[in-house]
Structure 1
Amino acid sequence: MASILQSPGRLLIAFTCIFTTFMGESKVAMSVFRPSNWALAHATFYGDETASATMGGACGYGNLFQSGYGTDTAALSSRLFNNGYACGTCYQIKCYQSSACYNNVAYTTVTATNLCPPNWSEPSDDGGWCNPPRAHFDMSKPAFMKIAQWKAGIVPILYRRVPCERKGGLRFAFQGNGYWLLVYVMNVGGGGDIGSMWVRGSRTGWIQMSHNWGASYQAFATLSGQSLSFRVTSYTTKETVIAWNVAPSNWNVGLTYSSTANFR
């Protein structure tokens, strides 16, 4: 049911609540996520062709190759980052009305994995691209090069939120200790985001976890020596999945545990 991996360290349409159980996972479907309307913004890039500068980041995904996100990623301005609740969200981006655009490219799809912080020493229209209230995407260089010539530096774009298509189940990267569990949730499908989360030990009831930062949630509880299950709710769709017995009783920090449960 669960496997272990090595790891480093708004358009909503409401439906009648449906509860289903399959292969040990449970799902409560509250709504379905549809692509948003296209909106105007700008895009820049950071790092080089290797995308090594994009590893880590404010969402806490660590090595983006090992966590499954690769180089198709972007850092969001604070207006879009939403204090970390936008971590894992997916966007289609296409270059718009610039001589640097590759006109034969419809769009590329990126995942939000980092924050592009404000640069208050520069005006928002000349260097301070991520200053509020701007919507801005600071893309990895490989992702930027799919839509425009990198020498342009900055290009106007059209963007829209889209559902995240993920292969495999949710991944839970553990940090902390037996009395404080910090979990980074990765490979999230559907809305791609996490709005709330609970953990349940084999000797406890459901314990609500608090949002730490980025894609991480924490529980101040004694959970060592217990197998762990998680209940996760999407920030965007409010859909909930329950991943039973994700981590065995001898779980340890520094490891990533996976489940077949995911959002669709």
Structure 2
Amino acid sequence: MLADRYLALHVRSKGSFVVHRFSSACTDRAQQRRLTAALERMSHIRHPHLLSVENFSFAPGGRPLVVTPYTGNQDGLLTLADLLDLKGGQMGAFEAERAILQLLDATSCTHAAGMPHGELGLDEVMVDRRGSVFIELAGLRLAIGGRTGQSSELLRDETRSIAEIGYRLITGLPADEPFIPPTSVVRRLDRHWDEWFETALEPSGGFETPSDAIDALPGNRREQARETQPGPVRVVLQRLGIPGGA
């Protein structure tokens, strides 16, 4: 984990926040400059599924401190890994697809801003009281190492890591080789998931962008099919050969 989490209370507003105390100190000035620039950039990015950077500083000794909103409840913070454990190691396809969609959308935003995150893990995703997910400290791990900007390979790897998370959520299994079609694990699962995961988890390929992965999600494919399917009135007109039925 990049940083330890501490609950903090704002003295004036009485609101709860999370202070992230990085595990390693930034003693090198160049490293501090890179991280400061990345934090300033992230503080201006607002996306519904990225934890916003509210404030940041360096503690004595050089350890970075980053303040983000508190997404937990009265029982504390909840990561996607925690939620998966609470659900017995597996989620329903609808709930999993919602999380996959939110993570892909957030990843698309960070890459557009030149702040790639790299491969994403279950413990880097926070879950709020409504079940929405948030990428924590997006892009900062790579920024510390001086890696910013866009890369097609990095984007594919990051998209693939989200697919690995999705596969784990739906099947309860790690996305190892050889590929096991999820419909052979989960009964009555939409067979479009087999095709989606087979493409998304392809080691030498995969979806080129998060947007490509979003468009191919089974839920979006069903919606597209409904939009192109003619309604009952148009079907009758087509059968009668009346203009407007085509």
- Same structural fold, with TM-score higher than 0.5 when normalized by the shorter chain: no
Q: Which has the higher contact order (CA 8 A, sep 6+)?
A: 1
Q: TM-score, normalised by structure 1?
A: 0.23
User: Which structure carries more strand by proportion?
Assistant: 1
Structure of larger gyration radius: 2
Q: TM-score, normalised by structure 2?
A: 0.24
User: Which structure carries more helix by proportion?
Assistant: 2
